[in-house]
């Protein structure tokens, strides 16, 4: 199993093509995110697979960028996957998106038919680890991005958003992130306004809200408990004048404005209006920084869970190794027994029953023990005491000296 790190334009398709045709790649799953590309591979020839990956990188990655790729094997690869799924290895510690992306990659690889027993077990274990970390630690608790922090700040200032009237001014990427975090909060109404009305309609549809033209900002503000501003305008779109006019229609109803725009789109003088509170990026950055620090403290707890799960996987692998040998021995011994019974059945009526049973059992024991005796004698000749001791333990045999 190997991992190929960091994303280079065009590398994803090249990697897909290589693994699809590579004779060593028995199973593979590719995980692609905005800042990483990783392939988890179960292969029949590790050295051959590494040579193929190295050739792939040399062909598709500029020399100056080749330091971004790496190969991990065995336990280190498993540990890496567990770490990735938990979000410890993410740019934002504890972020949840990577777990969803891992599940999606796993499902896609299964659908495409290149997941077998090895990677099926590995990725199921990884998903279990991710779930444990999220339920048993606070690694993913608390907003750590501006979009998430805006909703967290709103809840701190005005309480639960259920039943509240909310307006989003803007419909770009940041507004989209804020909108996603409103999901499940149960607001009474959500109004979206944007200079491009079509964009406002698209975002409003996602939120099951209403799109209203930019020319009705004052009306929107007058009906809102919370106004989230996230536009790309280079000037103020809300100031003391238009917000003040809106507040005259609801003087006793508090209004919280959170401006995540860069540069700011709300004049700070709106704070002078009674019952109006304005918060900008400074407030959100403080929340995000505090939550990042809190999450980092949880990393050690997450790592303990990862270590526990790694030990469990190792124990299961040891048992499986033994089971493989046991199954093979059982088949071999049954083949010997069946063959000897068939041979003996041809002699029924031709030999004395006791003599026939004696021959049958002697032959079975002789064939079963033949390889054991041969290998023990070979071990003795080579002074291989470990093999001899292993045989004594397996068969609980004691020498006269013991």
Average pLDDT of span 19-47? 89
pLDDT in tens, 160-182: 999 999 999 998 888 888 888 88
Largest interatomic CA distance in the chain: 117
Question: Strand, helix or coil at 257?
Answer: strand
Average pLDDT of span 117-121? 93
Contact yes or no for 229/261 (Cβ under 8 A): yes
Q: In this predicted structure, what is the pLDDT of residue 89?
A: 75
State the span(s) of the chain assigned CATH 3.40.50.720: 146-294
Q: Which residue intervals of 22-45 are DSSP H helices?
A: none
Structure pTM?
0.54
Please name which of 334, 333, 345, 396 lies closest in space to residue 370, comparing C-alpha atoms: 333
Fold of 11-140: Beta Polymerase; domain 2 (3.30.460)
pLDDT in tens, 41-58: 999 999 999 999 989 888
Q: In this predicted structure, what is the pLDDT of residue 161?
A: 94
State yes or no: pLDDT of 77 exceeds 90: yes
Which two structure tokens, joined as six digits, stand for 334? 């049954």
Architecture of the domain spanning 146-294: 3-Layer(aba) Sandwich (3.40)
Phi-psi region of 6 (alpha: psi -120 to 50; beta: other; left: phi over 0): left
DSSP label at residue 170: -
**Which of these is catalytic: 3, 34, 77, 347?**
34
Average pLDDT of span 352-356? 89
Which residue reads 């493989």 in tokens? Answer: 324
CA distances from 137 to 80, 94, 295, 347, 357 (A): 19, 10, 9, 71, 65
Beta strands in 82-197 (DSSP E): 165-169, 189-193
**Rounded Cα distance, 224 and 21, in Å:** 58
State the span(s) of the chain assigned CATH 3.30.460.30: 11-140
Question: Which pLDDT band, with edges at 50, 70 and 90, does 8 fall under?
Answer: low
Q: Which of 58-67, 242-251, 313-322 has the highest mean pLDDT?
A: 242-251
Is 43 catalytic? The answer is: no
């Amino acid at each position: 199993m190997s991992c190929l790190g960091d994303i280079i334009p065009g590398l994803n398709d090249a990697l897909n093509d290589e693994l699809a045709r590579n004779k060593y790649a028995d199973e593979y799953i590719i995980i692609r995110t905005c800042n990483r590309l990783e392939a988890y591979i179960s292969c029949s020839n590790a050295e051959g697979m590494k040579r193929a990956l190295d050739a792939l990188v040399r062909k598709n990655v500029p020399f100056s960028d080749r330091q971004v790729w790496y190969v991990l094997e065995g336990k280190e690869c498993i540990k890496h996957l567990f770490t990735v799924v938990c979000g410890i290895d993410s740019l934002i510690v504890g972020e949840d998106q990577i777990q969803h992306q891992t599940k999606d990659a796993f499902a896609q690889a299964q659908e495409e038919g290149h997941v077998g027993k090895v990677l099926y077990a590995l990725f199921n274990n990884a998903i279990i680890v991710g779930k444990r970390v999220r339920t048993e630690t606070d690694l993913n608790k608390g907003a750590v991005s501006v979009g998430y922090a805006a909703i967290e700040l709103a809840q701190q200032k005005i309480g639960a958003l259920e039943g509240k009237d909310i307006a989003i001014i803007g419909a770009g990427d940041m507004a989209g992130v804020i909108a996603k975090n409103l999901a499940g909060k149960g607001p009474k109404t959500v109004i979206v306004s944007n200079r491009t009305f079509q964009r406002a309609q698209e975002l409003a549809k996602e939120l099951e809200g209403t799109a209203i033209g930019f020319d009705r900002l004052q009306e929107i503000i007058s009906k809102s408990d919370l106004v989230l501003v996230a536009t790309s305008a280079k000037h103020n779109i809300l100031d003391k004048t238009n917000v003040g006019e809106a507040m005259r229609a609801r003087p006793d109803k508090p209004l919280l404005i959170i401006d995540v725009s860069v540069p700011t789109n709300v004049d700070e003088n709106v704070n002078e209006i009674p019952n109006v509170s304005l918060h900008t990026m400074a407030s959100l950055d403080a929340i995000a920084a505090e939550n990042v620090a809190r999450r980092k403290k949880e990393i050690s707890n997450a790592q303990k869970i990862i270590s526990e799960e790694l030990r469990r996987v190792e124990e299961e692998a040891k048992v499986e190794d033994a089971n493989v040998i046991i199954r093979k021995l059982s088949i071999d011994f049954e083949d010997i027994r069946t063959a000897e019974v068939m041979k003996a059945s041809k002699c029924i009526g031709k030999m004395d029953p006791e003599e026939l049973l004696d021959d049958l059992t002697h032959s079975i024991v002789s064939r079963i023990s033949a390889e054991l005796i041969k290998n023990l004698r070979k071990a003795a000749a080579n002074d291989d005491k470990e093999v001899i001791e292993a045989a004594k333990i397996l068969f609980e045999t004691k020498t006269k000296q013991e």
